[in-house]
Structure 1
Amino acid sequence: MVRKTANDTCSYSLYLTNTLSGQKQKFQPYDLNRVTMYVCGPTVYNYAHLGNARSAVVFDLLYRVLRDTYPCVLYTRNFTDVDDKINAAAERTKQSIRDITDRFIKAYRSDMKALGVIPPDFEPRVTDHIPDIISVICCLIDKGHAYVAEGHVLFHVPSFEQYGVLSGRKQTDLMAGGRVEAAPFKHDPADFVLWKPSIPSLPGWESPWGRGRPGWHIECSAMTASCLGLPIDLHGGGQDLIFPHHENEIAQSVSARGGAEYCRFWVHNGFVTVDGRKMSKSLGNVVLVHDLLRETEGETIRLALLSAHYRQPLDWSTELLEQCRRTLERLHRLLSDTDHLSQENITEGFSEPGIVARELYDDLNTPAALKALFGTARSLRHAVSHSERVRLRIELLAGLRLLGLFQENKLTSFQSVPSAFISDMLERRTEARDKRDFAEADRIRELLQAYGVTLEDTLQGTQWHIKTHNVKF
């Protein structure tokens, strides 16, 4: 698709379900030339699980749609790198907190790259924004929305009359939730922590209220303002963040700005279940992306994550993953079979968004978008007219690219691979293994896999074969 400019007109508009209104609304940014989006990222004390991945993939898709609609889109997704769970992991493993967070930030980026997630424009870490956080807290105290008590700073919920506007909860029914602990020094049970003291063994920073660290909610308010400026157009995250996290973000940010709007659109994705059961440590069914990627290609995982509408629960299963793997194989084979059409250039009829894009404009309706994509693939397979085949292939590629399901190297994976090339690569891999250069050996294996060549190391040496595929739409 061609990137839009602010002056372009299109008969299709993007509609999203806005949690703030509870309705599907036309997305209208403050500035057509500068669209801003903030999404709550992971707390980096472990590898990303499927819930983390679903949020990343859903908002990556929204980012792609926005970038194909507006000339400038600024996307921020943060890393929470100071947290009680991180502290516990550091104590358990006898590592420094920085070592743990650096390790899992690197792992998260690698895993998300494998899922086709485009890196956001900004990836702030909480620990890099402590001065910004302290500044917002000072502002809240000055305006009478926060108070200091026994080394803590707390936001006084009754001072914000609109509290509950996002979650629909009434103030009279609210109690401290999430990571907020009940404490006798609170003026109101619903008041939540903005700053808390740190003992010497825990991370801490100097502040007007003593050495301490920030509460969870204030972090995102400060990083949003610092990276994007306020107000922003869109804020995203999992539906579990609606309350208390996002509710508290609104209270803090609106109060600090004297009642001015913080964010226009709030978008939330649904939960992931595993074989019909909630994913949880107690059930032992937490699925880590890092583990999945050892057995399955990231593109397959991405398709599975997009198979259900983002607002609905997604039930994960081995059957779903296998179905997605077979589907992608058929698509890649079709693209390979029609690769000779790739040099053709047809622009007529492409002034409007493709059929996949039009479905995504309707609240990111991925089930409908995928149905349209598969319909295009079937039409391409059976088309007779040369011009129609070229047009359908362009349409198919545009849809795959927008969904993040297209990798250029897949086009070569089903074509003929010279045996001399394979032999040369195997010799180089053997030399690398003899030198214990396993990184180079793995690189060569991955290169051959990109051409559809599968290696098997046996006692008799390395065996290889090229996959064959039975294609039917």
Structure 2
Amino acid sequence: MTEIKLHNSRSRTKEVFTPLDPENVRMYVCGPTVYDRAHLGNARPVVVFDVLYRLLRHVYGAERVTYARNFTDVDDKINARAAESGRAIGEITEETISWFLEDMAELGALPPNEMPRATAYIPQMIAMIEGLIEGGHAYAAEGHVLFRVRSYKAYGGLSGRSVDDMIAGARVEVAPFKEDPMDFVLWKPSDATQPGWDSPWGYGRPGWHIECSAMSYEILGPSFDIHGGGNDLMFPHHENEIAQSCCAHPEGEFAQVWMHNEMLQVEGKKMSKSLGNFFTVRDLLDQGIPGEVIRFVFLSTHYRKPMDWTAEKARNAKNTLDHFLGLIVGVEPGVPDEEVVLALADDLNTHKALTRLHTLAKEKKADVLKASLLFLGFDLATLESGWFGEEHYDGLVPLAERLGQVRAAAMASKDFSEVDRLKSALLEAGVEVRMSKEGVELVPGPNFDPSQLEGLS
């Protein structure tokens, strides 16, 4: 069996991954708050942990892996969007969830086994909060329930901070009903305009952190293998999850391995609306950039390094996929290349895996290349029938042969006028012309128009 090594954020070291139960490998990843389209940064953890999901399925078997990713569908941002738009909260969340799933599918992401919504687990959250109060880890105050941070001695272990240092560096107004500035909200009151549920502490709604603890416990149990998300969630969200989960269920150990992806930049700068470089996944798709290109750019950078999205990287990714697909169209896939698998098994070294694809292409191992692309999550069926147009390749084969013959004759006669004529016509039709010692290769691009090649001979 392939040995997997993963960087554990809690131990800050790369460790050999040993699942608690090889027959039931479990992973939880924090999902989106559903009030708007997913921006490019939201998509990075989806792609990162989709690659890990594919690797786990490959090593342990698809039926032995459970991947849960939640939807936060109760949140103040959603309430604000409903208030400003006049739309119902449920209508907004349903629409946004649908958008998210469609956009992530375009990036080649497999749907997780479980996609729980926070609003479906309110009773479980209330029960968990009640248990924390009974154990002395939480207290009710003025319609709120707060977690008593100092009751969990290991608090700060994930992020490497002490509670006193956190307080010293805090710049937030402390609510008068808190026992300690670091205590965080498990439950808060709702007014008539806000979503809410009846509870022992009055009509209200859960705090953000409790939802993931309750849902992961119900779906994966008190102990599971991997918890993932962006590194912006390490503190306070993941730190708070650990504290409340370990106090509520001391029989378990919560997540064994913590994984965090780095953030995304655009052309070397932090993505922000004020800089004019903020865009959603749908913005790129609507601009004609295929989801496979977005995925390829993402995988070109290791998940623990900041990723810089640039137009040049997108162009290079498109050209690379162009080349790969020109080699594998019509070829039956073999098995994924072992070196590609081993690259992913080494803490998801996707850059190394993509580098290996270039070697496979150079060596003309089309069946292995195709299987490896599929393993990495590139939806070749979509590309071949849509973006590149598989049906057009057959028509280009005789043209490639014709151009090769004309080129050979021109080498002898030194008259390249016919070569130039054919090449110009192909370029005008959106075909990339590649000529080398091995011969002529014609690759249709996204703007390929076969009608312009009619009568070309």
TM-score, with structure 2 as normaliser: 0.83
Whether contact under 8 Å (1:38, 1:235) holds in the other structure is yes
1:309 aligns with 2:309: no
The answer as to whether partners of 1:132 and 1:222 remain within 8 angstroms in 2 is yes
How far apart, in 2, do the equivalents of 1:67 and 1:30 lie?
16
Q: Does 1:92 align with 2:84?
A: yes
Aligned to 1:325: 318
Q: Aligned partners of 1:167 and 1:158: how far apart in 2?
A: 16
State how far apart, in whole Å, the 2-side matches of 1:204 and 1:179 are. 29
CA distance in structure 1 between the aligned counterparts of 2:88 and 2:392, rounded to whole angstroms: 50
Deviations 1:402-421 (A, max 9, x none): 110242244452444899xx
Q: Could you tell me whether the CA contact under 8 Å between 2:32 and 2:72 is conserved in 1?
A: yes
Report Cα offsets for 1:64-101 as digits up to 9, x if no partner: 00000113100000000111111111111111111111
Which structure would you say has the larger Rg?
A: 2
User: Which structure 1 residue ranges, 4+ long, deviate > 4 Å from structure 2?
Assistant: 176-181, 451-456
The equivalent of 2:426 in structure 1 is none
How far apart, in 1, do the equivalents of 2:347 and 2:111 lie? 22
Aligned AA for 1:333? G
Tell me how far apart the structure 2 counterparts of residues 94 and 39 of structure 1 sit (CA, whole Å): 31
- Is 1:37 equivalent to 2:27 in the alignment? yes
Distance 1:226 1:179 in 2: 35
Classify the secondary structure of the residue corresponding to 1:293: helix
Give the length in aligned residue pairs: 400
Deviations along 1:352-376, whole A, 9 cap, x unmatched?
Answer: 9621111110000011110011111
TM-score, normalised to structure 1's length?
A: 0.80
Q: Cα distance, 1:378 vs. partner?
A: 0.9
Distance (Å, rounded) in 2 between the aligned partners of 1:306 and 1:454: 21
Instruction: Trace 1:449-468 onto structure 2 (pairs within 5 A).
Output: 465=450
Equivalence for 1:434: none
Check whether the contact 2:231–2:263 (CA below 8 A) recurs between aligned residues. yes
Checking the alignment, whether the CA contact within 8 Å between 1:454 and 1:465 is kept in structure 2 is: no
Alignment of 1:48-87 (within 5 A): 48-71=38-61, 72-87=64-79
> How big is the alpha-carbon RMSD for the aligned residues of Structure 1 and Structure 2?
2.5
1:379-408 superposed Cα distances (whole Å, 9 cap, x missing partner):
11xxxxxxxxxxx22321221111102422
Are the counterparts in 2 of residues 455 and 465 from structure 1 also a CA contact under 8 Å? no
Quote the Cα distance in structure 2 between the aligned partners of 1:29 and 1:285.
Answer: 41
- Conserved in 1, the CA contact under 8 Å of 2:5 and 2:16? yes
Q: Which has a greater percent of helix?
A: 2
Match of 1:445 in 2: none
- Quote the sequence identity (%): 49
| Cα distance in 1 between the residues matched to 2:56 and 2:452 | 37
After superposition, the Cα gap between the structure-2 partners of 1:107 and 1:161, relative to the gap in structure 1 and judged at 3 Å, is same
Q: Is the 8 A contact 2:392 2:450 kept in 1?
A: no
* Match for residue 255 of structure 1 among 247, 252, 255: 247
2:237 matched residue in structure 1:
245
User: 2:15 maps to what in 1?
Assistant: 25
Distance (whole Å) between structure 1 residues aligned to residue 341 and residue 127 of structure 2:
42
**5+ long unaligned stretches in structure 2:** 396-442
Could you tell me which runs of 5 or more consecutive residues in structure 1 were left unpaired when the two chains were aligned.
1-9, 381-391, 420-450, 457-463, 469-473
Equivalent runs, 1:363-442 vs 2, <5 Å: 363-380=347-364, 392-411=365-384, 413-416=389-392
Contact 1:29 1:35 in 2 (8 A): yes
Q: Is the 8 A contact 1:452 1:466 kept in 2?
A: no
SS at match of 2:363: helix
